[in-house]
Amino acid sequence: MRTAAEVIKKPWTESPPRRAWTSCIHERIDYIFISNNYWIDDERPCLTYAMRGHIRMVVSVQGPKQNVHAGVDGGAVVEPTIDLCYILGTLVDGAGRVCVPGFYEDVRASSEDDDAAFDRIAFDTTQYRHELGVQRLAQAAERNALRARWAEPTLSITNVQTSNGDQAFSVIPHKATAQVSIRFVPDQKADEIVTVVRHHLEHEFNKRNSGNQLSVEVVQVSQWWRSETSSPYFGAARAATKEVWGCEPLLVCEGGTMHTTCMLVDHFEAPALHLPMGQSSDGAHLPNERIRIQNLVNGQAVVYSFLEHLSKEGTTEEGDEGDRDELVA
């Protein structure tokens, strides 16, 4: 059973060849520039300045040593699947609020800048509900859907499986497994979240006193990431986007490549910037994935302009570690 800290502390740079390579370029990295995100709609250019962290956990309950027959043994066996459903059902209430004691501790209060950025986006919850096809959003989200999606932690059950592979109605599965995906935010710590979630699951499981075995395993942890929007790098990206697209970019907190971003930031001790280049409807990773030619051409122009702005301003970033005079983009 691994803790979140153990999962985090297995660096990608452990192997000797990688160590040699990274040590030789380490000193020359001032800034990490990633363009692998999308706008939040098809119209408005964006800059990503934060992403929630991600904890992947696997929770399983094991009972008999193999599947048993529901008609023969049903009633005599306390079923692992029902134990698992019970404990999973205690995690989140019907309004989307995570019911694990201590889960929301350390969540950083919304700043005025964040509120202003969220307000500027003028997010339409009615349209969002329509796009999702749901009758209602989680309670908190109705008032402030963006805050719920970007600045609040959340807990999802992304899959449940049993050992009854043939889906026979006459089989009691001897094991049931769930995937739990937790998104966490500044200033939450992965290890503390794992501890409270694990404790809650064990507490609820022990209430049942079923004699089955619970296992809670951390599979992967990606830290939350947040860049300083007041840095000269971020300023150069804002100015360049405005220059090319003719409007201020929206400052958003959604995007991908999160695990890699945190790993690079951590390893090179350099800040990062995400420049979303495509439209929300580009169909990322789906069939017929595309990018509009205008976005590609203007995207290149934003990168040129970003470098120009930086060279005019000088590149030493206040508040970041080290004094670096070069930019490796």
Q: Using CB under 8 A, which of the segments 12-20, 69-77, 289-297, 318-326 binds its own copies?
A: 69-77
- From the list 150-158, 268-276, 296-304, 321-329, the region that binds its own copies by CB under 8 A is 150-158
Nearer to its own copies, 157 or 307 (CB): 157
Q: 76: Cβ–Cβ under 8 A, 6 or more apart, which residues? A: none
CB of residue 239 to its own copies, shortest distance in Å: 27
C-alpha closest to that of 215 among 254, 160, 178: 178
> Is residue 121 within the footprint of its own copies (CB under 8 A)?
no
Using CB under 8 A as the binding rule, whether residue 71 contacts its own copies is answered as yes
Query: Can you tell me the distance from the alpha carbon of 324 to that of 326, in angstroms, rounded to the nearest whole number?
Result: 6
Nearer of residues 29 and 253 to its own copies, judged by Cβ: 253
Scanning 86-94, 186-194, 294-302, 308-316 for contacts with its own copies by CB under 8 A, the matching segment is 86-94
Residue 283 structure tokens: 């169909």
In the complex, minimum distance from the CB of residue 185 to its own copies, in angstroms, rounded to a whole number? 10
Q: Which is nearer to its own copies, 48 or 295 (CB)?
A: 48
Q: What distances in angstroms separate CA 163 from CA 16, 27, 56, 178, one per listed residue?
A: 40, 51, 21, 12
On whether the CB atoms of residues 92 and 234 are closer than 8 A, the answer is no
Specify the residue, 19 or 130, whose C-beta has the smaller distance to its own copies.
130
Could you tell me which stretch among 4-12, 77-85, 265-273, 295-303 binds its own copies (CB under 8 A)? 77-85
Strand 225-226 versus strand 32-34 pairing type: unpaired
- Note whether 86 binds its own copies by CB under 8 A: yes
Interface with its own copies in residues 157-216 (CB under 8 A): 157-162, 164, 167-173, 176, 178-179, 181, 183, 207-212
Applying CB under 8 A, does 54 fall inside the site for its own copies? Answer: yes
Positions in 269-328 near its own copies (CB under 8 A): none
Distance set, CA 221 to CA 121, 149, 189, 300 (Å): 30, 19, 11, 33
- What is the nearest approach in angstroms of its own copies to the Cβ of residue 324? 30
| 83 is an interface residue for its own copies by CB under 8 A | yes
If one asks whether residue 36 binds its own copies (CB under 8 A), the answer comes out as no
Q: How far are the Cα atoms of 16, 102, 175, 296 from residue 109, in angstroms, in the given order? A: 42, 16, 41, 37
Give the residue, chosen from 47, 92, 236, 240, that forms a contact with its own copies under the rule CB under 8 A. Answer: 92
Please enumerate in sequence order all residues whose Cβ is within 8 A of that of 68, keeping only pairs 6 or more positions apart, or say none. 77, 171, 172, 174
